[in-house]
Structure 1
Amino acid sequence: MSKGSPAPPTVRIAAGQGFWGDWLEAPYRQVTGGPIDYLMLDYLAEVTMSILQKQKSRDPTLGYAKDFVPLMERILPTLVERHIKVIANAGGVNPPACAEAVAAAARRLRLDGKVRIGVVTGDDLLGRLDGLVARGHELTNLDTGRPLRDVRDRVRSANAYLGAWPVVEALRQGADIVITGRVTDTGLTLAPMIHAFGWKRDDWDLLAAGTVAGHTIECGAQCSGGNCLVDWERIPDLANVGYPIVEAHADGTFDITKHPGTGGRISVAGVTEQLVYEMGNPAEYITPDCIADFTTIRLAPAGKDRVRVSGVRGKPATDKLKVSIAYFYGYKAVGTLVYAWPDAYKKAKAADGVLRQRLTALGLEFEAILTEFVGAGATHGVLALETADLDALPEVQLRIGVRSFDAAAVERFTREIAPLILNGPPSVTGFAGGRPKPEEIVAYWPALVDKRMVEPCVEIVEV
Structure 2
Amino acid sequence: MGSINQPTLRIASASGSVTDRRHACADLAKDEDIQYIVGDWMSEYNMTTRGIGKINSSGASEEFENSFLEAIEPALPYIASRKIKVAVNAGASDTEKLHEVVVKMVNKARLNLKVAWIGGDEVVDAVKKAVRTGEDFKSLTTGKKLSDWGFEPVYAQCYLGCWGIVEAFNNDADIVLCGRVADASPTIACAAYHYGWSKHDYSQLAHAFVAGHLIECSTYVTGGNFSGFKDLPGLSLDLGFPIVDMKVSGEFSITKQKSRDGIVTVSTCTAQLLYEIQGPLYYNSDVVAVIDNIKMVQVDKDEVYVSNITSLKPPPTTKVGITAKGGFQAEAHYFLCGLDVEEKAALLERQVRHKLDASKFHCLKFRTNGRCPTDPKNQDAATVDLRVFAQAAQEEDLSLVNFFRPITDTIMQSYPGATFAVDARQAAPKPYYEYWVALLPQSSAKHICHVPYKKLQIPIEPPTDTADFLYEQPTYETNSPIKLSKCGPATKAPLGAIVHARSGDKGSDCNVGFFVRHTDEWDWLRSFLTVAKVRELLGEDDTGKPIFRFELPNLHAVHFLLKDHLDRGVSSSSTYDVLGKNLAEYLRCKLVEVPDKFLQRGKI
TM-score with structure 2 length normalisation? Answer: 0.68
Out of 366, 370, 375, the position equivalent to 1:371 is 366
- For the 8 Å contact 2:126–2:444, the answer to whether it is kept is no
Q: Percent identity?
A: 28
Within 5 Å, give how 1:38-437 maps onto structure 2. 38-57=36-55, 58=57, 59-111=59-111, 114-151=112-149, 154-230=152-228, 232-282=230-280, 284-341=281-338, 347-360=344-357, 365-376=360-371, 394-411=382-399, 412-419=402-409, 424=414, 425-426=416-417, 428=419, 430-432=421-423, 434=425, 436-437=427-428
- 1:336 is paired with a residue whose SS is strand
Q: 1:235 to 1:402 in 2, by over 3 A?
A: farther
Note the C-alpha offset of 1:9. Answer: 4.0
1:220-275 superposed Cα distances (whole Å, 9 cap, x missing partner): 11111011013535454321111211111111111111012111111101110111
Q: Which runs of 5+ in 1 are unaligned?
A: 1-7, 378-384
Distance change in 2, residues 1:337/1:32 (3 Å): farther
Shift of 1:120: 0.3
CA contact (8 A) 2:48 2:435 kept: no
Deviation at 1:348, TM superposition (A): 4.8
Q: Deviations over 1:83-110 (max 9, x none)?
A: 2221111111221101001111222222
1:27-80 C-alpha deviation (Å, 9 max, x unpaired): 333333422222211111123122112222314351211222232222212221
Rounded to whole Å, the distance in 2 between the matches of 1:349 and 1:30 is: 54
Equivalent runs, 1:18-57 vs 2, <5 Å: 18-57=16-55
**SS of residue in 2 equivalent to 1:185:** coil
Aligned-residue RMSD, C-alpha: 2.9
Q: Single out whichever of 300-309 and 364-373 deviates more from structure 2.
A: 364-373
Q: How many residues of Structure 1 are paired with residues of Structure 2 in the alignment?
A: 443
Structure-2 separation of matches of 1:430 and 1:215: 41
Give the superposition deviation at 1:462: 3.9
User: Which amino acid is 2:103 matched to?
Assistant: A
Greater relative CO (CA pairs within 8 A, separation 6+): 1
Residue 312 of structure 1 and its aligned partner are, at CA, apart by: 1.4
1:422 shift after superposition: 6.5
Asked if structure 2 preserves the Cα contact closer than 8 Å seen for 1:119 and 1:458, the reply is yes
1:368 corresponds to which letter in structure 2? C
Are residues 236 and 421 of structure 1, via their aligned partners in 2, closer, same or farther at CA, if it must alter by over 3 Å? farther
Task: Assess, with a 3 A threshold, how the Cα gap between structure 1 residues 33 and 375 changes in structure 2: closer, same or farther.
Answer: farther
Q: Say if 1:416 and 1:258 are closer, same or farther in 2 by CA, change over 3 A.
A: farther
Query: Distance between the aligned counterparts of 1:69 and 1:336, measured in 2?
Result: 37
C-alpha distance in structure 2 between counterparts of 1:388 and 1:350, whole Å: 23
Write the distance in 2 (CA, Å) between the matches of 1:427 and 1:297. Answer: 55
More displaced stretch, 451-460 vs 430-439: 430-439
Residues of 1 paired with 2:204 and 2:159: CA distance? 20
**TM-score, with structure 1 as normaliser:** 0.87
Counterpart Cα distance in 1 of 2:266 and 2:245: 16
Q: Shift of residue 162 of structure 1?
A: 0.7
Q: 1:341 to 1:333 in 2, by over 3 A?
A: same
Q: Distance in 1 between matches of 2:203 and 2:96?
A: 34
Alpha-carbon distance in structure 2 between the residues aligned to 1:393 and 1:123: 48
**Matched residue type, 2:156:** A
Name the CA distance, whole Å, in 2 between partners of 1:35 and 1:338.
53
SS at 2:292's partner residue?
A: helix
Q: Secondary structure at the match of 1:357?
A: helix
Q: Could you tell which deviates more after superposition, 208-217 or 224-233?
A: 224-233
Partners of 2:243 and 2:254 within 8 A in 1: yes
Kindly provide the CA deviation profile for residues 261-302 of structure 1, in whole angstroms up to 9, marking residues without a partner as x. Answer: 1111111011101111112221x1111111101013110001
1:432–1:27 distance in 2 versus 1, CA, 3 Å: farther
